[in-house]
């Protein structure tokens, strides 16, 4: 074989090898992408989906920062999260915007051009006219402050993927890197657009599922949690408290002489009293606390990582806030004065491994404390020691 032919064959084999190597890389990239997509689609809850987006996706693709912005003009999404998964609201990488213009108007590039010796500032915005093309390029300080507020150093390059559902901008997935060549304008965005489309559907479905769950865990009259939700969270907090050796406190709150409101003014006024009391209690709660209408005129409050002293302080704030306020009802000539009685107990280090029994004992102890408070004249707080259930005896 002549030398030119040998050289030609060598070059062809080299090109074929490069093509095969690239094909293998593309196949691995596709498999990785499909695995991530399956993780998004199969997420069982909104917290799991958010974790897949903000943590697992970032780790899988070795990104420096990932954030998610959701447009929530009526506070509806945040309301659902506040009820169902309040811990998500603490994530610095989960950002909420009150309108789509906050996202659309993020300044990506600024420059000054001179026209007739007069500098004119102009700016390029993310998604003018609701275009759904991802933005790839540099990140200004304004961009960082809105899309990556928790970081101090400006990323060198970013990819901002708009999330659209039903032709409406619902948010953006924001990827950032310290490598200035990671995201550059002009590279192909087909896979990123595919990702944003799938994520938009997954996020919408996850939020809708949380809304459906919330309907079954919310008291229709007061808008706070119901007994079912409280019992679920009680089990979770008792498990956490025993595992991490953290105190868990419980308050039982009863509206004093509630039957008199119904008897004297009718059940509609009684409903007003229930809503009024629940609103006041809610204002005294931390994000991690759980408030529920336990039944009738009784409310239950679960205070995680809260010792007896702090639980008493919370109970006294609630009692005073209600006692010092007055309820105005349009149908009544005079305002109403409402008071509550509160029972308080705290579970510290427990020895019984049965967390269900521990939760029941915590409730029973708080309930007994409430009855003592009512017998003591009402409008007061009683603290009862936690009575730990005995361990089951082995049968020989």
Inter-residue contact 41 to 202 (CB < 8 Å): yes
* Euclidean distance between CA atoms 52 and 93, whole angstroms: 13
3-state DSSP assignment of residue 178: coil
**Quick check: 327 pLDDT over 60?**
yes
> Given pLDDT bands bounded at 50, 70 and 90, which one contains residue 25?
low
For CATH 3.30.70.270, the residue range(s) in the chain are 227-383
Inter-residue contact 147 to 175 (CB < 8 Å): no
Entry pTM: 0.68
For CATH 3.30.450.40, the residue range(s) in the chain are 43-216
* Euclidean distance between CA atoms 345 and 291, whole angstroms: 15
Among 14-23, 112-121, 209-218, 256-265, which is the least confidently predicted range? Answer: 112-121
For residue 218, give the DSSP letter. Answer: B
For residue 89, give the DSSP letter. Answer: G
For residue 129, give the DSSP letter. Answer: G
Inter-residue contact 278 to 239 (CB < 8 Å): no
- According to the per-residue pLDDT averaged within each range, which of 97-106, 123-132, 305-314 is highest? 305-314
Q: Please count the CA atoms within 13 angstroms of the CA of 279 that sit on its side-chain side.
A: 10
**Quick check: 114 pLDDT over 50?**
no
CATH classification of 227-383 is 3.60.150.10, yes or no? no
CATH classification of 43-216 is 3.30.450.40, yes or no? yes
For 347-395, the pLDDT digits (tens) are 987 777 788 899 999 999 999 999 999 999 999 999 999 988 766 543 3
* Euclidean distance between CA atoms 343 and 370, whole angstroms: 4
- Number of helices and strands in the chain (H, E): 12, 12
* Euclidean distance between CA atoms 198 and 159, whole angstroms: 16
Q: Where are the beta strands (DSSP E) in the chain?
A: 65-71, 94-97, 107-115, 118-125, 135-137, 157-165, 168-177, 248-255, 290-295, 298-304, 340-347, 381-383
Inter-residue contact 160 to 179 (CB < 8 Å): no
**Quick check: 220 pLDDT over 50?**
yes
For 146-168, the pLDDT digits (tens) are 999 989 888 999 999 999 998 88
Q: 326: burial class by Cβ within 10 Å (0-12, 13-18, 19+)?
A: exposed
Inter-residue contact 121 to 137 (CB < 8 Å): no
> Given pLDDT bands bounded at 50, 70 and 90, which one contains residue 49?
very high
For residue 392, give the DSSP letter. Answer: P
Torsion of CA 326, 294, 243, 396, to 10 degrees: 150
Strand partners, 176: 65, 158
What is the number of residues in the chain?
A: 396
What number is the average pLDDT over the span 312-340? Answer: 94
Inter-residue contact 169 to 162 (CB < 8 Å): yes
**Quick check: 191 pLDDT over 50?**
yes
Closest CA to 294 of 241, 372, 222: 222
> Given pLDDT bands bounded at 50, 70 and 90, which one contains residue 101?
confident
Among 21-25, 112-116, 149-153, 254-258, which is the least confidently predicted range? Answer: 112-116
Could you give the residue numbers annotated as active site? 297
Q: For the chain, give the mean pLDDT.
A: 87
**Quick check: 204 pLDDT over 90?**
yes
Tokens 């809708």 sit at which residue? 208
* Euclidean distance between CA atoms 352 and 357, whole angstroms: 8
For 328-354, the pLDDT digits (tens) are 999 898 999 999 999 999 998 777 778
pLDDT: which is higher, 108 or 117: 108
Residue 282: φ, ψ to 5° = -60, -35
Element (H, E) at 216: helix 190-216
Among 7-16, 65-74, 182-191, 263-272, which is the least confidently predicted range? Answer: 7-16
Inter-residue contact 191 to 208 (CB < 8 Å): no
């Amino acid at each position: 074989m002549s030398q030119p032919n040998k050289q030609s064959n060598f070059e062809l084999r080299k090109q074929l090898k490069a093509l095969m190597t690239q094909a293998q890389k593309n196949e691995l990239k596709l498999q990785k992408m499909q695995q991530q997509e399956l993780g998004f689609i199969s997420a069982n809850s909104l917290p799991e989906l958010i974790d897949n987006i903000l943590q697992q996706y970032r780790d899988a693709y070795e990104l420096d920062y990932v954030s998610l912005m959701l447009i929530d003009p009526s506070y509806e999404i945040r309301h659902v999260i506040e009820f169902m998964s309040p811990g998500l609201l603490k994530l610095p990488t989960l950002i909420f915007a009150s309108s789509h213009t906050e996202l659309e108007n993020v300044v990506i590039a600024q420059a000054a051009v001179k026209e007739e010796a007069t500098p004119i500032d102009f700016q390029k915005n993310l998604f003018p006219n609701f275009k759904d093309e991802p933005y790839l390029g540099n990140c200004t300080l304004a961009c960082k402050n809105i899309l990556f507020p928790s970081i101090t150093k400006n990323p060198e390059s970013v990819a901002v993927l708009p999330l659209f559902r039903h032709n409406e901008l619902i948010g953006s997935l924001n990827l950032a890197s310290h490598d200035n060549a990671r995201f550059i304008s002009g590279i192909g965005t087909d896979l990123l657009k595919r990702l944003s489309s799938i994520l938009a559907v997954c996020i919408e479905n996850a939020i809708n599922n949380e809304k459906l769950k919330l309907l079954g865990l919310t008291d229709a009259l007061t808008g706070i949690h119901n007994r079912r939700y409280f019992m679920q969270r009680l089990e979770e907090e008792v498990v956490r408290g025993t595992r991490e050796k953290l105190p868990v406190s419980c308050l039982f709150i009863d509206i004093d002489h509630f039957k008199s409101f119904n008897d004297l003014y009718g059940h509609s006024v009684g409903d007003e009293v229930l809503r009024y009391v629940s609103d006041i209690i809610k204002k005294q709660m931390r994000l991690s606390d759980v408030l529920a209408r336990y039944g009738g005129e009784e409310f239950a409050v679960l205070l995680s990582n809260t010792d007896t002293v702090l639980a008493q302080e919370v109970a006294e704030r609630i009692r005073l806030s209600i006692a010092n306020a007055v309820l105005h009802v349009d149908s009544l000539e005079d305002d109403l004065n409402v008071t509550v009685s509160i029972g308080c107990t705290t579970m510290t280090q427990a020895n019984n491994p049965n967390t269900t029994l521990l939760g029941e004992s915590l409730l029973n102890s708080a309930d007994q404390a409430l009855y003592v408070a009512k017998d003591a004249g009402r409008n007061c707080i009683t603290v009862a020691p936690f009575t730990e259930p005995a361990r089951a005896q082995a049968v020989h």
